[in-house]
Homo-oligomer: A and B are copies of this chain.
């Protein structure tokens, strides 16, 4: 059983704030400052170029990948850190398409995060040989999997509503149709138990700045199933994915296994922050976390629905079908969320009308849920969203 009072104490949480946006950017681990200072002063400052060996920088993308692997049910050695999630989507997609050369359909759904769709569009445009990005409604995905589909590109947990796909069922269905699967775990890793090996997933990608708390712009990760790791071709074939990067050969030879999915020089400072965030995760059992997130989410939904009849639950009511967030629809959602933030409850807004609240048991407890619900009740009952100050849009919401 994980000790969530202990994990909560490991985060810096600003005074007067209840933070329900860890599904967008996790908070600062208290130990991250010292870890970063070590990376900067003792490693970069003192070791300089020798840090690549002495401080182990070069090995960190694989080591951090292994620590994430445990959280998503991946085989050790099959998760590699690096780049951004969008880049990793492209990398997985390009490799998958080459593994199904006779097929021309990438199947995704309208609940996918737009960047995944954009990256697919960009790849299709570059390839220019009749690929189609077929986007269906989330509930139509299963039936849309047919022998035309080369690969499914799906985000397990919908970023707006928290609706979850059945990863096991859809993966099995894809395999039955001869298609490959790419699972985007942006809202899954650190949020819900994932069992990549168990469901026989082919590729997965994810980010580390949301539920994993790696910091703003923390690197992404990619998973390739062991059966493909040694022959998936990385279209983004950078020198650190080469079999012998420091031989400086002129012709690319893919590195062994997941190493080939490395591209350029790893982001050492960002990895230092992530390292301290993963120290917290090392002690967490994902099933215990899931149970607690569901309990907190149910409590939150009940309280908000009780006090705010104008908010319509946008998330699935069934806890098993919902990720680690709760979303409500409200026409004035943008202004209402700004009002909540002004009152110390930070969630976020997703166009056109979604008020989104992340439920993150590592640092949110029942008291926080009750206080947040009370603030939301006041915002809604007092119609604070009517204040023009809350209606002015900023660049990033």
CB pair B28 A45 closer than 8 Å: yes
CB pair A266 B351 closer than 8 Å: no
Chain A, range 207-264, C-beta contacts under 8 Å to B: 207, 209, 215-220, 233-242, 246-252, 263-264
A73 to chain B, nearest CB (A): 24
Q: Which residue of B lies closest to A17 (CB)?
A: B48
CB pair A118 B238 closer than 8 Å: yes
- A125: chain B residues at CB < 8 Å are 233, 235, 237
Q: Indicate whether A57 reaches chain B with its CB closer than 8 angstroms.
A: yes
Q: Indicate whether A286 reaches chain B with its CB closer than 8 angstroms.
A: no
CB pair A351 B246 closer than 8 Å: yes
Q: Indicate whether A110 reaches chain B with its CB closer than 8 angstroms.
A: yes
CB pair B48 A27 closer than 8 Å: yes
How distant is the Cα of A53 from the Cα of B281 in the complex, in angstroms? 29
CB pair A396 B246 closer than 8 Å: yes
Q: Which of A33-41, A145-153, A383-391 contacts B (4 or more CB under 8 A)?
A: A33-41
- A219: chain B residues at CB < 8 Å are 267
How distant is the Cα of A390 from the Cα of B143 in the complex, in angstroms? 63
Q: Which residue of B lies closest to A110 (CB)?
A: B250
CB pair A122 B252 closer than 8 Å: yes
Q: Which of B28, B44, B220 contacts A216 (CB 8 A)?
A: B44
Q: Which of B25, B46, B237, B397 contacts A122 (CB 8 A)?
A: B237
Q: Interface size bucket, A side? A: 35 or more
CB pair A341 B50 closer than 8 Å: yes
A299 to chain B, nearest CB (A): 22
Q: Indicate whether A84 reaches chain B with its CB closer than 8 angstroms.
A: yes
Q: Indicate whether A3 reaches chain B with its CB closer than 8 angstroms.
A: no
Q: Which of A85-93, A174-182, A303-311, A317-325 contacts B (4 or more CB under 8 A)?
A: A85-93
Q: Indicate whether A268 reaches chain B with its CB closer than 8 angstroms.
A: yes
Given contact pairs A58-B396, A115-B264, A233-B125, A86 touches B238 in the complex (Cβ within 8 A): yes
- A209: chain B residues at CB < 8 Å are 265
Copies in the complex: 2
CB pair A263 B351 closer than 8 Å: no
Given contact pairs A53-B396, A122-B236, A126-B127, A268 touches B41 in the complex (Cβ within 8 A): no
Given contact pairs A84-B83, A351-B247, A57 touches B216 in the complex (Cβ within 8 A): yes
Q: Which of B49, B237, B346, B350 contacts A24 (CB 8 A)?
A: B49
Q: Which residue of B lies closest to A101 (CB)?
A: B128
CB pair A265 B40 closer than 8 Å: no
Q: Which residue of B lies closest to A45 (CB)?
A: B28
A131 to chain B, nearest CB (A): 12
CB pair B45 A114 closer than 8 Å: no
- A41: chain B residues at CB < 8 Å are 12, 28, 33
How distant is the Cα of A129 from the Cα of B17 in the complex, in angstroms? 56
How distant is the Cα of A364 from the Cα of B58 in the complex, in angstroms? 27
- A236: chain B residues at CB < 8 Å are 86-87, 90, 119, 122
Q: Indicate whether A123 reaches chain B with its CB closer than 8 angstroms.
A: yes
How distant is the Cα of A125 from the Cα of B207 in the complex, in angstroms? 27
CB pair A84 B238 closer than 8 Å: yes
- A396: chain B residues at CB < 8 Å are 52-53, 58, 246
- A326: chain B residues at CB < 8 Å are none
How distant is the Cα of A86 from the Cα of B125 in the complex, in angstroms? 20
Instruction: Kindly supply a per-residue 1/0 record for chain A positions 170-197, scoring 1 wherever the CB is within 8 Å of any chain B CB and 0 otherwise.
Output: 0000000000000000000000000000
- A280: chain B residues at CB < 8 Å are none
Give the 5 A-B residue pairs with the shortest CB-CB distance, closest first.
Answer: A84-B264, A122-B237, A115-B239, A86-B238, A216-B268
Can you give 12 contacting A-B residue pairs, CB < 8 Å?
A25-B49, A28-B40, A49-B348, A83-B84, A119-B238, A122-B237, A125-B233, A125-B235, A216-B265, A216-B268, A217-B271, A248-B351
